[in-house]
């Protein structure tokens, strides 16, 4: 034991004597704006298995950027939040009564009734003259918006505009020389990187939480135009609209949503990339509305089997399953079965990248799509039009099956029994290989690859031309999708 302590003491002296400058670099000097912490890089000192382990210190970030984070309280019909909430809503014998009484007015409590008439959240100042970003769901439908600054000043805010699709809202308060956040580049953010959030969870203003980036480019249901940043930063009701910072003290996202089965934080939260938010904010500021480019296609993800069936070396891009009649894609000559691999030279890793990249561009913009068609790369120019609320494009197609006078026929190698209809070949029975993939009775086979099939001869020829990897385009109810069959 004595020897152990002696070695520890000697090591400590050596570190202090020889490593003071390095320690200062880690914790203090922030030279050349390189961030608040210099992490120990992985794989140094000849050890390729070494992992960076130094934990960051967010104190300077909070000191420098915290004053630009605000607390937002929004009500309907000019209701007074402070008069409706607080310790008076608790029984006198409640153990938290005195606690909340001392904290007020800084910690508003949720009203006991009519919660739909009261919202609270966070935001951050992006200009010295009082423009503030937050979430649409914080202020949507509210006509009395109050902003509380870090220095305890309060302002009534004007809603400049709100975009439900991106969940970004722009507010304005009448003030000058306000502290503002510094904006970063979400493209430079890496999975595993430390990030921090400042906000007002449950009304507890100026609360700081930290974690890491869990994933980038997440696509959520009904959120086609936002490549969310997924983190494990603790986000709770009241954090919505607050900033997500990187270690340089730059805002890289707006905290927007959580995944939860309990209503509280469960380790998965999502932030809107700041470049997407600022694009929306600029449009709201100049015109009060947001316009997004539209391509006019329905797409699906390219998995490994589909990639092989279309002759690709790797699974990437967006597979077009339907081209909307009269849309930009149809006018440019795009087809079902085309795989969009790039937009203006930028590679698409996932299908969700396509609507994001197109949606960031204005209507009327001409773009160049790199596509994969029939085993070859091509480039097609498309002029975008404007996204407008329309019904599901597939819903206009009738799902009524009109049988012909033909008889059913069996494709034993595939395990299918098919019958010709006016819409395609309906699957009457499945077995063998067909039962091992996601084919179902009642599905209608429209095409094999990019070749339409109407009868047994069409189908046999198209399957033979496909070789051992057969991509089937099917219609299921009002949806179209490709399913790959891999023949032995």
Token pair for 470 = 């057969």
Backbone φ and ψ for 82, nearest 5 degrees, come out as: -65, -30
User: Among residues 57, 137, 275, 460, which one is catalytic?
Assistant: 137
Residue 166 is encoded by which pair of tokens?
């991106």
Residue 163 pairs in a beta bridge with 168
Measured between alpha carbons, how far is 367 from 343 in angstroms, rounded to an integer? Answer: 7
Tell me whether residue 137 is one of the annotated catalytic residues: yes
Q: H/E element holding 101?
A: helix 97-103
The catalytic residue among 167, 205, 338, 443 is 167
Give the E-state strand segments of 66-175 in sequence order: 69-75, 118-125, 131-134, 144-148, 154-163, 168-172
First-to-last alpha carbon distance for the chain, in angstroms, is: 67
Under a CB-based contact definition with an 8 Å cutoff, are residues 348 and 340 in contact? yes
* DSSP E strand boundaries for 221-335: 223-231, 243-245, 250-258, 269-273, 293-294, 297-301, 318-323
240 is catalytic: yes
Q: Which residues have a Cβ under 8 Å from the Cβ of 448 and sit 6 or more positions away? A: 459, 462, 463, 465, 466, 470, 471, 472, 473
- What's phi and psi for 121, nearest 5 deg? -165, -160
**Of 166, 207, 214, 240, which residue is the catalytic one?**
240
Find the largest Cα–Cα distance for the chain.
96
Q: What angle do CA 184, 123, 114 make, to 5 degrees?
A: 150
CA 19 from centre of chain: 42
Establish how many alpha carbons lie within 13 A of residue 154's alpha carbon, considering only the half-sphere containing its beta carbon: 9
- Is residue 342 among the annotated active site residues? no
Count of CB atoms situated within 10 Å of the CB of 228: 22
- Torsion angle of C-alpha atoms 332, 333, 336, 340, degrees rounded to 10: -50
| Of 76, 278, 70, nearest in space to 169 by CA | 278
Q: Let me know: does 401 contact 453? Beta carbons within 8 Å.
A: no
Q: Could you list the active site residues?
A: 137, 167, 240
């Amino acid at each position: 034991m004595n020897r152990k302590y002696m070695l520890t003491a000697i090591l400590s002296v050596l570190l202090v004597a020889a490593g003071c400058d390095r320690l200062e670099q880690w914790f203090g000097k922030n030279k050349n704006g390189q961030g608040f912490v210099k992490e120990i890089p992985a794989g140094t000192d000849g050890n390729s298995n070494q992992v960076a382990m130094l934990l960051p210190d967010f104190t300077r970030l909070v000191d420098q950027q915290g004053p630009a984070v605000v607390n937002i309280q929004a009500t309907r019909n000019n209701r007074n939040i402070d008069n409706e909430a607080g310790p008076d809503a608790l029984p006198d014998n409640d153990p938290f009564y005195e606690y909340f009484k001392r904290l007020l007015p800084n910690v508003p409590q949720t009203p006991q009734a009519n919660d739909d008439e009261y919202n609270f959240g966070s935001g951050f100042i992006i200009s010295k003259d009082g423009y503030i970003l937050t979430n649409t769901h914080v202020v949507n439908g509210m006509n009395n918006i109050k902003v509380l600054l870090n220095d305890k000043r309060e302002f009534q805010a004007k809603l400049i505009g709100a975009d439900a699709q991106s969940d970004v809202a722009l507010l304005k308060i009448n003030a000058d020389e306000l502290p503002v956040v510094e904006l970063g580049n979400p493209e430079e953010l890496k999975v595993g990187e430390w990030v921090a959030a400042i906000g007002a969870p449950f009304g507890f203003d100026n609360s700081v939480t930290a974690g890491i980036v869990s994933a980038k480019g997440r696509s959520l249901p009904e959120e086609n135009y936002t490549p969310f940043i997924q983190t494990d930063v603790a986000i709770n009701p009241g954090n919505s609209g607050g900033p997500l910072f990187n270690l340089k003290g730059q805002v890289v996202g707006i905290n927007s949503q959580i995944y939860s089965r309990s209503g509280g934080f469960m380790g998965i939260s999502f932030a809107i990339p700041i470049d997407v938010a600022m694009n929306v904010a600029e449009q709201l500021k100049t015109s009060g509305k947001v316009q997004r480019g539209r391509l006019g296609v329905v797409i699906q993800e390219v998995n490994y089997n589909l990639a092989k069936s279309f002759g690709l070396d790797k699974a990437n891009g967006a597979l077009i399953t339907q081209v909307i009649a009269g849309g930009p894609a149809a006018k440019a000559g795009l087809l079902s079965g085309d795989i969009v691999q790039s937009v203006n030279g930028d590679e698409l890793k996932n299908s969700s990248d396509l609507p994001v990249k197109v949606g960031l561009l204005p209507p009327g913009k001409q773009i160049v799509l790199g596509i994969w068609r029939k085993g070859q790369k091509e480039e097609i120019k498309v002029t975008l039009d404007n996204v407008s609320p329309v019904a599901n494009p597939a819903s206009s197609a009738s799902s009524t099956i009109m049988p012909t006078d033909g008889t059913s026929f069996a494709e034993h190698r595939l395990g299918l029994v098919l019958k010709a209809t006016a819409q395609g070949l309906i699957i009457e029975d499945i077995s063998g290989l067909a039962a091992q993939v996601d084919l179902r009775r009642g599905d209608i086979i429209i095409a094999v690859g990019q070749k339409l099939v109407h009868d047994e001869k069409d189908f046999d020829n198209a399957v033979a031309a496909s070789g051992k990897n057969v991509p089937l385009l099917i219609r299921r109810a009002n949806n179209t999708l490709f399913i790959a069959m891999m023949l032995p």
